[in-house]
Structure 1
């Protein structure tokens, strides 16, 4: 495992961090605690020392799960990060209330890296006016939190204002080879580093979309590389190649992913990609942009939908329709996954959207979700939708698909 230093405090942090937003789950959607605990502890035993969670992850169950998973001495082996749900804060006293509950859920007396969650320009103004900087000063003074930071999903201009708005220790931004100039982007990364902030990276694989399945057109480009690497390694190596990056979070939910990422993290040196390799990655990014129709990372911040639409799953199906072969299969899978066959009795179809617009403020990518769901309906639904659901029901019941 390679380590990099946090600029202001000198902490040596593993370049691979364990993100607890996409833990393995059981069929009922609950965290598979046995599997997830084994994965996290194995990662820690092999050098990972930064674990990240947040109040809303896994419908509020990620924090209490980690409180249990980091028992038996594992809490002392890691720097633990979690986040204030600033959108739920209505008064200054709420900040202390949420932190108190998070300390209890995580079964700890302090948070090593505490972030104000999912800021944009307007939410920063709101939480700042409620006194968040005073709260952070108090919480650091009495050691409830050790380092203060924020995670960000706004534009580059507002990012600078937030960086300059408080004596932060670190920040967390979305960054990958497709999003080099989106949100904070490369300019934000470099600006934060110029102010001596550590930078934690989220979505290095864009919600897994850069991992698998990989479109044939993209694989053709990867296969041109002199040094053969898989898509995940290329994506992670690209982020790690930036000297300003401190930690890269990976939302691992399978044992093999832990093993692979641990191996990749042994070679994630800064400036370790040559110009030819960087050009190859640029070609891959251009091809993805050509193929991808909806800029969704699958973060699920838009969920739950009041009408039970599974928004990320709808968009994943739509993108897959344009990125991969097999339209007939995808039509059946849409009916099976979102028509109440593989997930229980409730349907999660795009056509259930009533345009309440609740999802719009929640989306970090600022997608026009209701309008995009209409496109999903056009492609996947229609007068024969119920017949297709019945067909999928018979098909999966026969276990022949």
Structure 2
């Protein structure tokens, strides 16, 4: 495992961090605790020493799970990060209430890296008015948190003012080879680093969309490389190639993901990709831009939907259609998934969106979700939907018993 230093405290952090947002789950949606615990502990045994979670992950169960997974001495081996759910904070007292609850949920007396979660300009202004900076000073002074930071999902122009507003230790931004000009982007990465902040990266694989399956047009470009790498390796190596990056979080959901990421991390040196290889990545980014229709990472901040629509699942099948083809198969899968035939728990179809707008306030990517759901409905629904539902029930009868 390779390590990089946090600029302000000289912590030696593994370049690969374990993100506890996409843990393996059982059929009922609950965390597969046995598998997830093995994954977390194997990662730590292999050198990972940064573990990231948050209040809402896995519907509030990620933090308590990690408390159990980090028992038996594992808590002492890692720097633990979690986040204040600022959108739930209504009074200054709420900040202490949430932090104290998180300390209890995580069964620890301190948070090594504590972030204000998912800031944009408006939520930063609200948090500031409520005294968030005084809260951070107090929590650092009394030892409940060691390092203070924030995660960011706002517009590019609003990032630097937040960096300049406080003596932050670190920040967390979305960054991958498709998002160089999205949210903080490359300019934000370089600005934060120039101010002495450590930078933790989220969504290096864009919610898995840069991993398998990969469109044939993209694979054709990757195959031109002199040194053959998997799409995951290209994506992670590209992020680690930036010396400003301290830690890259990976939301691993299978043991195979852990093994692959550990192997790739062994070669994640800064400035290690050649100009020719960087040019190849740029061409891949251009191709994805042509193919991808909806800028969704599958973070599920928009969920639960009041109308019962599984928004990320709708967007995933829509993007897959435009990147990989297979319309008839995907329409069948849409009917089976949204109709609850595969999962045993029904979620409504895209056309059943009630236009309430709740999801618009929650989406870090600022997707026009209502408009996009209409496009999904146009593509996957229609007069033959009921026929496909009926056929899917027969086709997947054994799976739905």
Tell me, in whole angstroms, the C-alpha distance in 2 between the residues paired with 1:205 and 1:144: 32
Tell me which residue corresponds to 1:173.
173
Cα deviation, 1:34-56, whole Å, max 9, x if unaligned, reads: 00000000000000000000000
How much has 1:345 moved relative to structure 2? 4.2
> Counterpart of 2:159?
159
Post-superposition shift, 1:398? 5.4
| Partner of residue 74, structure 2 | 74
Give 3-state SS (helix, strand or coil) of 1:387's partner. Answer: helix
Tell me what 2:219 maps to: 219
In the superposition, relative to structure 1, how do residues 282 and 260 fare at CA in structure 2: closer, same or farther (>3 Å)? same
Q: Deviations over 1:249-280 (max 9, x none)?
A: 00001111101100111110000000000000
Structure 1 residue 342: deviation in Å?
1.1
Deviation string for 1:144-174 (max 9, x for gaps)? 0000000000012110010001110000000
Cα deviation 1:93-120 (Å, max 9, x = unaligned): 0000000000000000000000000000
CA deviation map 1:283-311 (0-9, x unaligned)? 00000000011111111110000011000
Equivalent residue runs for 1:1-12 within 5 Å: 1-12=1-12
Note the 1:305-316 alignment, pairs <5 A: 305-316=305-316
Structure 1 residues 345 and 25: CA distance shift in structure 2, 3 A: closer
Q: Counterpart of 1:114 in 2: which secondary structure?
A: strand
Give the superposition deviation at 1:391. Answer: 0.4
Are residues 109 and 329 of structure 1, via their aligned partners in 2, closer, same or farther at CA, if it must alter by over 3 Å? Answer: same
Per-residue deviation, 1:387: 1.5
Is 1:329 the counterpart of 2:332 in the alignment?
Answer: no
User: Map of 1:2-401 to 2, 5 A cutoff?
Assistant: 2-397=2-397
| Residue 78 to residue 397, structure 1, CA distance change in 2 (3 Å) | same
Counterpart-to-counterpart distance in 1, 2:146 and 2:240: 25
Equivalent residue of 2:214, what SS? coil
What SS is found at the alignment partner of 1:373? helix
Following TM superposition, by how much is the alpha carbon of 1:226 offset from its aligned partner in structure 2, in angstroms?
0.2
Structure 1 distance, partners of 2:323, 2:133, is 45
Q: Partners of 2:127 and 2:325 in 1: how far apart?
A: 46
Cα deviation for residue 348 of structure 1 reads: 2.7
The separation in 2 between residues aligned to 1:308 and 1:194, in whole angstroms, is 44
SS in 1 for 2:116: strand
Q: Distance in 2 between matches of 1:123 and 1:161?
A: 13
| Alignment root-mean-square deviation, CA | 0.7
Aligned equivalents of 1:38, 1:45: Cα separation in 2: 10
For residues 286 and 325 of structure 1, the distance between their equivalents in structure 2, rounded to whole angstroms, comes to: 19
CA distance in 1, matches of 2:225, 2:41: 34
Secondary structure of the residue that 1:397 maps to in structure 2? coil
Q: Distance in 1 between matches of 2:263 and 2:382?
A: 47
Q: After superposing the two structures, state which structure 1 stretch, 338-347 or 73-82, moved more.
A: 338-347
Q: CA shift at 1:347, angstroms?
A: 2.9
- Runs of at least 4 residues of structure 1 off by over 6 A? none
Distance 1:222 1:178 in 2: 15
Shift, 1:209, TM fit: 0.2
2: CA distance between counterparts of 1:352 and 1:246?
43
Distance in 2 between residues matched to 1:220 and 1:379, nearest whole Å: 27
Shift in alpha-carbon separation, 1:398–1:139, aligned structure 2, 3 A = closer
What is the rounded CA distance, in whole Å, between the counterparts of 1:264 and 1:128 in structure 2? 40
Note the C-alpha offset of 1:344: 1.6
Equivalents in 2 of 1:189, 1:46: separation in Å?
28
Count of residues paired in the alignment: 399
Separation in structure 1 between the aligned mates of residue 98 and residue 243 of structure 2, nearest angstrom = 34
Once residues 166 and 121 of structure 1 are traced to their aligned partners in structure 2, the CA distance between those partners, rounded to angstroms, is 15
List alignment gaps of at least 5 residues for structure 1.
Answer: none
Secondary structure of the residue aligned to 2:157 is helix
